[in-house]
Chains A and B, each alone.
Chain A
């Protein structure tokens, strides 16, 4: 796996993510986000984080894209919404600043990070989840429930507060 392949995957990941923000057509934006997610999953696979890669493809690129497309299919257009042009100028500036921070500073500092410079000892995924991070599962279950309840609250009937 060469450096060029990583760069290709990163460019694909970031490029489709940016496209998802700037595309005005919601359907195309959702599909672009799915492509971005596939690139991210490929990066995970190449970093040998197979479980994360599988979750990324199945849940983010798969399930969430289906949900997005289904929801977009249910919505009706309500006329054009005027959008500000400022993000078009500000976003590239922020993006360049971020790239500078990421490439120059983080790259220079990564040798100082003990975990990155040493050889990782990777326990098996279920062992990590059940043996070390059980509280995270409780939190994750809570997050999922909170998301579901938020959707129930937002789509409840007759709840508009006048």
Chain B
């Protein structure tokens, strides 16, 4: 039999086959190591939290330990309230800032703004809480939902700003030129043509930022503070899921621990839902024709 010149010499063939299997195996193992924590988290949350999830959990206030029932209704509403307030602050400032970076501004100034935004993105969340404590809690002599919303909103600003800029820059220059050539003024070109073309991308950035801050605990510790009851007024402390989880998790009571697991499951489900929304939104994100 004549050996084909395209085949390796037999003594190398087996060694190469083993090398190939070993390297492929290592890569698969690393890939699994990346996604395994996600499944572990979901597994433990469901295993520990699911049994405590009932109708009461979504409709009742927390009860003292030992009492049957009780839930986190106020914390769920609180988290949604805080997210809405954060969006009210973070979305306009972030989006307009992103528009400025992408459409106006000199290269020099923009470099500084981008640098500042990137540094802000890296500021530890507890620092945001401290800053807001100093400027909103101390002067007004009390923890409040407002302070919590502002802390989360400020965290959103650099995130939203950078993603807005990124998607606006992706809008081809030819659309801007085509619109300008119709005698449309520059701000209308930006609002009606450029921003509208990139709207899905901007929405995606906003939701990613919301998902990022939804689980934040540290900035709320000394701003929103937490509340075991309904808060009727945004000037009062307000509860939030991460705060309630934190309070229950460090307690000494088994029934509170179970509630904390259930709360964590709900929070995780909320963040997962936000991320799935992002996937759906960006699935057919098509900017160029």
Q: Is B one of A's binding partners? A: no
Question: Which residues of B does A touch, CB under 8 Å?
Answer: none
